[in-house]
Amino acid sequence: MIEDMDAHQYGDFALTKYYSPKDDHGLGVKWADFQEKISNRGKLNISPFLGAPVGVDGEFFDPGKMGSYFQTTHEVGESLKKIEGVKGEMQDDFIEELESYESFLSQANSVKKGIYVTF
């Protein structure tokens, strides 16, 4: 159901044609810890755990008002490489979530699809 009749809500509703909101592959609150570990390894064009926002003139698509990001098929492959590069440095209590997310990216990469990340 669309609550706020704005472009964000209509766009979010339209995107559900391509994903199920119940199909969660997220890292939960640990994503920030993963992001910090990867950020310490040099310049990143995008976050391998988020992606890049989409918008015009500083107005970004953000239906949940907590962040909305996209990764192209190429960026998904790059994210996989970045994750593989730091995987061995992660603490044991992070590995399970990281490997689950890595598997999700691998699936998207194998079928040449991008991803949508939202909160």
SS3 per-residue string spanning the chain: CCCCCCHHHHHHHHHCCCCCCCCCCCCHHHHHHHHHHHHCCCCCCCCCCCCECCEECCEECCCCCCCEEEECHHHHHHHHHHHHHHHHHCCHHHHHHHHHHHHHHHHHHHCCCCEEEEC
Confidence of residue 43 (pLDDT cuts 50, 70, 90): low
Type of residue at 32: A
For 14-29, what is each residue's pLDDT tens digit? Answer: 888 887 777 778 787 7
Greatest CA separation found in the chain? 46
Is residue 2 in a domain?
no
Is residue 44 in a domain?
yes
- Which range of residues forms the domain containing residue 43? 7-118
The pTM of the full predicted model, rounded to 2 decimals, is: 0.79
As a whole number of angstroms, the distance between CA 99 and CA 83 comes to 9
Is residue 59 in a domain?
yes
* Strand partners of residue 68: 118
For 75-86, what is each residue's pLDDT tens digit? Answer: 999 999 988 877
Is residue 102 in a domain?
yes
Is residue 90 in a domain?
yes
Is residue 1 in a domain?
no
Neighbours of 53 (CB within 10 A): 16
* Total number of domains in the chain: 1
